[in-house]
Structure 1
């Protein structure tokens, strides 16, 4: 007998206002300033710096991070790392992935240009499970009380947002800190999160929280407003069918729109599904946000970020939520797979 689905948070816990929900549905993203308190931001930054300083370099396979979705991937073997076991088995661990530009050229064994703490692209992918400060910023926990009354935890607010977005059994996966290191923080090319975390039908939503100010020059997000409304999923990053441990992008002609969007037959560029529109820089609205801001990102909306050319890092904490209720299926070829006997973390719980 299937386990009972936990109840969503009560209406007394605020999630999204009607205006915020309308904006998200129309634009495919929503910025909520001051979502985390200054003390929460400080705690997550301190935790991140501790992780960066303490991970052992000697036993690290020196795995870089790249989506494999760029010109360099064809000629640079290092860019094809994305299929290695260190990456593929990181769904329930805290692991460290280097920037592609972190290493000196033509060094064997590879040598870093800077210290290890200034060379990491991202930390993932189970911070919400294995790191208590990140868990508290993600999952509902026991509600603490203060002298001014009851404080609503950030995890409970996350659950309330999922409730208002219409999730029935939201599951959390792929939590990570994106570092965007000074001068070498790699660009992230236009993509949709449901290309990487595909459910049938698509259901992914990203929570992207700035831990430092994100501005022009240090890799602020760029979002193509409204591109989710008819931007079908036409490709996916999957594990290679050949079983060689790699991943690859494949064309996709299955269900491509989130359930609430089914019926649109064109993408945001006015093309029928099956045609390819190459996004231009002018298609993307740059989101400059302060530390502590939350950006909700629809799984079908195109978004990107530019290379960090500044001398300031741009740390951000991000996790993703998919629908785990009956009627949605998490695809078995997705790069991230739960370990046997494990499932993805439920966002609705017993405590709010």
Structure 2
């Protein structure tokens, strides 16, 4: 797959024989807010995760839940099914998967937006994928004193209906004091301009100790989410670059790194896996939207 022309600011690394973070990798991460590691995850591992996910989808009863996830409308913010998903596996549909009467217009495997958020702690295949040694080396190499695996998502980006994801920072949703959110985004299938690859703003994380806004549990109703605006100025998307990612590429980015993706109007899906870590040395507030019960604490590698 041809990778789109990109400014030199986004440096790509051949990570097929990865053993440790080089100084060049650390420099690129500090400069850009993102580290692009081509070939870090072998294709057979991607295939195994995809196969396990489709088994989970096959066992999901779509008639029981019709929760929609959208980064544009954020209707899920008032959805208890979403707000209580930190300790289990939940299934969320695309907005475009339903007709005016509320019926699915596609088979469930072509209608889901994502599944999340604790597969890494409750499913053996996800556990192995999430806790591979390279991820631990990267997290610790980028400064995490005690990396904890906070949430996992499998994102489908479905053909024709895969929704737009507006420009955002992951620390908005996964807040720690100080900010320590770290994302591992893995291309389970090729991510291209055609099927809605990520875009990012190199260096957009600099000069900020906090994200532009925070999503947390509402003070009035803890079963609902609420946004707290910190900086209302829009992201400067003039410098955004495409982050095309062949299967097995891992994008590691800072929680303050601004990124987005366009809708997928093609006939090709764009499956991806995302793992978010936080540093156990930081404070995780009890009004963060994603919470675990006391008998299921966060774990490391």
TM-score when scaled to structure 1? Answer: 0.77
Encode CA deviations 1:150-198: one digit per residue, 9 max, x unaligned.
xxxxx11111111101111110111010110001001110111111000
Matched, 1:99 2:55: no
Matched, 1:47 2:52: yes
Alignment of 1:56-135 (within 5 A): 56-60=61-65, 62-67=66-71, 70=72, 73=73, 79-105=74-100, 107=101, 110-135=102-127
Give the superposition deviation at 1:244.
Answer: 5.8
Report the aligned-residue RMSD.
1.5
Identify which of 187, 193, 199 aligns with 1:216: 193
Range moving further from structure 2, 130-139 or 179-188: 130-139
What is the match of residue 21 of structure 1? 26
Encode CA deviations 1:36-81: one digit per residue, 9 max, x unaligned.
1111111111112212222112322x000023xx3xx3xxxxx523
Give the superposition deviation at 1:280.
Answer: 4.8
How many Å separate the matches in 2 of 1:85 and 1:285?
35
Identify which of 8, 26, 35 aligns with 1:30: 35
Give the superposition deviation at 1:27.
Answer: 0.3
Please identify runs of 4+ aligned residues in structure 1 that moved more than 4 A: none
- Asked whether the equivalents of residues 66 and 82 of structure 1 are also in contact (C-alpha less than 8 Å), the reply is no
Matched, 1:338 2:283: no
Q: Which runs of 5+ in 2 are unaligned?
A: 1-17
What is the match of residue 12 of structure 2? none
Alignment of 1:222-233 (within 5 A): 222-231=199-208, 232-233=210-211
How many Å separate the matches in 1 of 2:299 and 2:69?
24
Matched, 1:243 2:199: no
TM-score when scaled to structure 2? Answer: 0.90
What is the match of residue 151 of structure 1? none
Range moving further from structure 2, 276-285 or 165-174: 276-285
Q: Which runs of 5+ in 1 are unaligned?
A: 1-12, 74-78, 140-154, 253-273, 348-352
